[in-house]
Amino acid sequence: ASGWVIMNGNRIQIKRKQFEKIIDTLDTI
């Protein structure tokens, strides 16, 4: 179970980074 939590956490962090990249591109426009 703990391993699943770690994988889920990493996935959330990756989504957050991708979301920040999208926001950065929108800010530059």
What is the span of the domain harbouring residue 15?
Answer: 1-29
pLDDT in tens, 1-29: 688 788 888 899 999 999 999 999 998 87
Number of domains in the chain: 1
Rounded CA-CA distance 1/10 in Å is 14
pLDDT for the residue 1: 63
Rounded Cα–Cα distance for residues 9 and 28 (Å) = 29
pLDDT of residue 2: 80
Query: No. of H helices and E strands in the chain?
Result: 1, 0
pTM: 0.53
Enclosing H/E stretch for 1:
none
